[in-house]
């Protein structure tokens, strides 16, 4: 079972974001074998999430956005089919999906291959992000109510999304101490990093 994270500037790019996820996962039961971190920019912004499907093809994967709080087990989130969140907490708007948590097993590189046929076209057509791209272009499954969200005033579940409110994340008792975060892209670590951690 492998965790996959995307840590790219300008929104992220500092090691503290990865350390924080690892800290929360370890305190919640350490239900993973390894953490992979992609930190190089390919297309930019959230569209680089799609590159993960090309790079990670052989294992059982679970992706988390970096701006989430984790206080409970995650093993139930591992799936065999490509699965992401149904944004049950809000109106569907341009898409009913949310890609803050995703899971897949084996080769799902077709998701990236579809996007990479014409990235500029898809980034214009789906300019609000990859959730809309997945909704219209990809076969997927959705989780049930496995998390809640800070933005909608719900912080009672073992996983809470802090989409668009990431500064508030550091006030959560399960996280590391408040760091000094910089969004300067010159501070990006260009090496892909990997933590090895045995379960048990």
Res 69 pLDDT > 50:
yes
The closest alpha carbon to 66, from 101, 108, 40, 31, belongs to 101
Res 190 pLDDT > 60:
no
Q: What are 33's two structure tokens?
A: 């074998």
Res 44 pLDDT > 70:
yes
The closest alpha carbon to 45, from 132, 160, 123, 125, belongs to 123
Segment 115-172, tens digit of pLDDT: 999 999 999 999 999 999 999 999 999 999 999 999 887 678 899 999 888 888 988 8
From residue 153, give the alpha-carbon distance in Å to each of 2, 32, 156, 162, 165: 30, 29, 9, 10, 12
- Between 163 and 83, whose confidence is greater? 83
Rounded CA separation 83/137 (Å): 14
Its pTM stands at 0.88
pLDDT value of position 188: 42
pLDDT value of position 166: 87
pLDDT value of position 153: 77
Res 183 pLDDT > 70:
no
Q: Which uninterrupted H or E stretch holds 114?
A: helix 109-116
Across the range 176-197, mean pLDDT stands at 47
pLDDT value of position 144: 94
Q: Which domains does the chain have, with CATH numbers?
A: 2-196 (3.90.550.10)
Q: Which uninterrupted H or E stretch holds 196?
A: strand 193-196
Res 26 pLDDT > 60:
yes
């Amino acid at each position: 079972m492998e965790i996959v994270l995307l840590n790219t500037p300008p929104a992220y790019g500092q090691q503290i974001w990865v350390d924080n996820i690892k800290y929360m996962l370890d305190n919640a039961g350490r239900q993973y074998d390894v953490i992979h971190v992609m930190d190089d920019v390919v297309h930019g912004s959230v569209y680089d999430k799609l590159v993960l499907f090309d790079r990670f093809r052989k294992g059982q994967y679970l992706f988390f956005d970096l701006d989430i709080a984790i206080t409970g087990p995650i093993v139930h989130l591992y799936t065999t089919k490509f699965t992401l969140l149904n944004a049950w907490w809000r109106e569907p708007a341009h898409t009913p999906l949310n890609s803050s948590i995703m899971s897949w097993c084996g080769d799902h590189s077709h998701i990236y291959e579809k996007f990479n046929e014409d990235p500029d076209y898809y980034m214009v057509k789906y300019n609000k992000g990859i959730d809309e791209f997945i909704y219209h272009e990809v076969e997927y499954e959705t989780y049930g109510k496995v998390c809640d969200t800070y933005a909608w005033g719900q912080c009672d579940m073992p996983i809470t999304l802090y989409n668009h409110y990431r500064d508030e994340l550091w006030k959560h008792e399960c996280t590391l101490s408040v760091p000094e975060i910089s969004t300067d892209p010159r501070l990006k670590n260009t090496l892909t990093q990997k933590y090895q951690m045995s379960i048990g």
